[in-house]
A and B are shown apart, each in its own frame.
Chain A
Amino acid sequence: MRVTLHIQKFNPEIDSKPYEEPYRLDIGRGTTVLEALMRLKNETDGTLTFRYACRSAICGSCAMEINGTEKLACMTQIRPELERHGEVRVGPLKNLPLIKDLVVAMQPFWEKIQSIRPWLDPLPHEQVDPIAMRNAYKAFNNVEACIMCGACVAACTVYEVSKSFIGPAALAKAYRFVADPREAAVPERLQRLQGDGGIWDCTRCNYCVEVCPKDVKPMEAITLLRRASIQSGLTQTLGSRHITSFVDIIRHEGRLNEGLMPMKVIGFRIKDFLRILPLGIKMFLKGKVPFPFRLKPAIPGIKEVRALFKARDEQRKGPM
């Protein structure tokens, strides 16, 4: 089968900006994008530049953008791509500095990984809970499967607009150490993730979960870090107050009270209050803000809902 691959090219020594070049070649049933790139490099264009090593989805070096989505070139067959998109366009990962053709600098990626201290601060051996140890693997929630390919970071919608975000791969890694029964510095680790760039910067868009070739589910790891933070009493960030206020409103009214919610989250932080006030007024004038202190705010079946909250309080031993 003869196909055309549209491949993004860029040589910083000659080109002012990246451009796309069509390459035609014959492929077989299972030909992968990586195999095609290797053949093109050998037979057609020796300057074509890309990274790879293992050719079997282990080393994590061949992540690139294929038809707009971050994928491993060695794991992606051309024919299904054609069927799905009607074409094959190949480009470098987004959101990381472009070096040449399909190669980006991974330095920012590694800096984030390093920033979370990806090593154990071990407890003395005799303090490690042997039973927790037996279940530790499950507690990692598959985070240890990460091959550091960078696909999730390139796809992350927050990292796109905010480069100070630690990002999905590094936060998933951070979770791995928080969940490790041998780790001595869990509170310090959680504390470090509370500030700007940390766990509260994730918008929950699910992109990292969708693109990860190893089912690491970074967003789930971030959720688990958030839960661990709240449970350990780190409840003062606006991010955690968002959660606790939301839960509190549903507990009492059964549905969200959009008039009350911002006030609860922001509390007595005057600067933040003044920030949202003008929008609140505009919304009010358009009939968009329900009065925060409605006379009958709750849904009719609120008793049932409160009973559920109570039942969970008892199971968890104590309120959220």
Chain B
Amino acid sequence: MKYALYTGCAAKGACPELYQSTMHVTKRLGIEVVEMLNAACCGAGVITEADPDLALAINARTFAQAEALGLNIMTICGTCQGVMGMANYRLKTEEGLLDRINALLAPEGVKYNGRVEVKHLLWIIVGDIGIDALQRYVTRPLENLRIAPFYGCYILRPSKVLGFDDPENPVSLEKLISALSAHPVDYEGRTKCCGFPLVLEKEPIAIGMVGANLKEAKDELADALVTPCPLCHMNLDIYQERAEKKIGEKLALPILHLPQLIGLAMGFTPKELGLSRHLVSTKKVVEKIQLKV
């Protein structure tokens, strides 16, 4: 299994631990990755608000790079998945759009033919590798951990475009958590929004959302939360302290990136997975599975 790895900006910026843990986990799973070092940012749904054709062109350029490698793209960011998935869907389905965008790329000698697929690591593991196969890599079952899955928005909605999980009742993270022998926590916030896009300009709203979602998970006795989106991670981790103040309640809920959770079950050390790079301490989780930090 071989993919062109689109890391997105976060894994190369504020969430280096996501990059680090992804590399360990994909290698262990036998997924060969070619990192797309020359790809630009997907635009995060922000560029499209200013200029949709520009956002499409930037993504078509990325797709063309993977196409030239003869590979499909693996994402490790829920937001990248949503944005690139939407761009790809539109380029493939809207009449005349691919030609219009290719005209923009032509002066640089780039052309996208619409033959690439974009898939999140979560989908590759649950859909292609399979839960049974994943279980064979588990050397340290996470038996006494209660894990709250947090999907985030763009890996689920709009489902018409994404189509992997049922947005009303997604199961991929739950399946994966169970496969690692941990216990998935059921709470309403699992499909909601963390508020990240608002955190710079409307902090009170954003931390209100962080607080509401995390409190629900906490009330269901979650030991930690896992998310397939580094932007969710940033908001839930970095702004957790402020959210605690807002709701007047201690949360101290460690937020894990998807490959960090998998990596723990595969026996990687907390250091290898970058667990000390979070703002909310992950010590409790590590202790619960009897490891030293």
A interface residues (Cβ-Cβ under 8 A, vs B): 67-69, 84-85, 157-158, 160-162, 165, 200-201, 203-207, 209-210, 223, 226-227, 230, 237-239, 241-244, 246-247, 250, 254-258, 261-262, 265-266, 275-276, 279, 282-283, 286-290, 299-301, 303-305, 307-309, 311-312, 315-316, 320
- Chain A residues with Cβ below 8 Å from B205 are 158, 161-162, 165, 201, 203
- Chain B residues with Cβ below 8 Å from A200 are 201-202
* B40 smallest CB distance to A (angstroms): 4
B152-207, CB < 8 A from A: 153-154, 157-159, 166-169, 188, 192-193, 195-198, 200-206
Cα-based distance from A220 to B197 in the complex (angstroms): 16
Given the known interface contacts A243-B46, A290-B14, the answer about A207 and B193 at a Cβ–Cβ threshold of 8 Å is yes
Residues 87-111 of chain B: 1 if any A CB is under 8 Å from the residue's CB, otherwise 0? 0000000000000000011011010
- Chain A residues with Cβ below 8 Å from B41 are 250, 254-256
Given the known interface contacts A286-B277, A286-B279, A290-B13, the answer about A223 and B193 at a Cβ–Cβ threshold of 8 Å is no
**Main secondary structure on A side of the interface with B:** helix
Q: Closest residue of chain A to B12, judged by CB?
A: A255
Residues 1-32 of chain B: 1 if any A CB is under 8 Å from the residue's CB, otherwise 0? 00000000110111110000000000000000
Cα-based distance from A158 to B69 in the complex (angstroms): 41
Given the known interface contacts A84-B168, A161-B209, A246-B47, the answer about A301 and B38 at a Cβ–Cβ threshold of 8 Å is yes
Q: Kindly specify which of B54-62, B113-121, B219-227, B262-270 makes contact with the partner chain.
A: B54-62
* A248 smallest CB distance to B (angstroms): 10
A-B contact count (CB 8 A): 183
Cα-based distance from A305 to B193 in the complex (angstroms): 31
Say yes or no for B39: interface residue by CB 8 A criterion: yes
- Chain A residues with Cβ below 8 Å from B82 are 206
Q: Closest residue of chain B to A66, judged by CB?
A: B168
Size of B's binding interface in residues, CB under 8 A: 64
Say yes or no for B43: interface residue by CB 8 A criterion: yes
Say yes or no for B140: interface residue by CB 8 A criterion: no
Interface pair A258/B153, CB less than 8 Å apart: no
Cα-based distance from A158 to B10 in the complex (angstroms): 24
Interface pair B107/A307, CB less than 8 Å apart: yes
Interface pair B40/A255, CB less than 8 Å apart: yes
Say yes or no for B125: interface residue by CB 8 A criterion: no
- Chain B residues with Cβ below 8 Å from A287 are 16, 277
- Chain B residues with Cβ below 8 Å from A165 are 205
Q: Closest residue of chain B to A272, judged by CB?
A: B200
Interface pair A304/B12, CB less than 8 Å apart: no
* A240 smallest CB distance to B (angstroms): 9
* A102 smallest CB distance to B (angstroms): 19
* A278 smallest CB distance to B (angstroms): 10
| CB<8 Å pairs between A and B, sample of 5 | A68-B168, A206-B153, A241-B201, A242-B201, A312-B54
Interface pair A311/B104, CB less than 8 Å apart: yes
- Chain B residues with Cβ below 8 Å from A84 are 166, 168-169
Q: Closest residue of chain A to B107, judged by CB?
A: A307
Interface pair A157/B193, CB less than 8 Å apart: yes
Say yes or no for B272: interface residue by CB 8 A criterion: no
Cα-based distance from A311 to B200 in the complex (angstroms): 30
Interface pair A209/B197, CB less than 8 Å apart: no
Cα-based distance from A206 to B153 in the complex (angstroms): 7
Interface pair A242/B53, CB less than 8 Å apart: no
If A250-B41, A312-B51 are given as contacts, then 8 extra A-B residue pairs at C-beta distance below 8 Å, sorted by A number, are A67-B168, A85-B169, A201-B198, A207-B157, A207-B192, A289-B14, A299-B40, A311-B57
Given the known interface contacts A247-B47, A307-B107, the answer about A205 and B40 at a Cβ–Cβ threshold of 8 Å is no
- Contact pick for B15, options A67, A201, A288, A315, CB 8 Å: A288
- Contact pick for B107, options A204, A205, A311, CB 8 Å: A311
Cα-based distance from A237 to B159 in the complex (angstroms): 31
* A214 smallest CB distance to B (angstroms): 14
Interface pair A227/B12, CB less than 8 Å apart: no
Say yes or no for B141: interface residue by CB 8 A criterion: no
Interface pair B57/A247, CB less than 8 Å apart: no
* A163 smallest CB distance to B (angstroms): 11
Say yes or no for B218: interface residue by CB 8 A criterion: no
- Contact pick for A203, options B50, B198, B277, CB 8 Å: B198
Interface pair B50/A299, CB less than 8 Å apart: no
Q: Closest residue of chain B to A246, judged by CB?
A: B46
Cα-based distance from A67 to B45 in the complex (angstroms): 29
Cα-based distance from A157 to B209 in the complex (angstroms): 8
Q: Closest residue of chain B to A71, judged by CB?
A: B168
Given the known interface contacts A205-B153, A205-B157, A207-B157, the answer about A286 and B208 at a Cβ–Cβ threshold of 8 Å is no
Cα-based distance from A287 to B276 in the complex (angstroms): 10
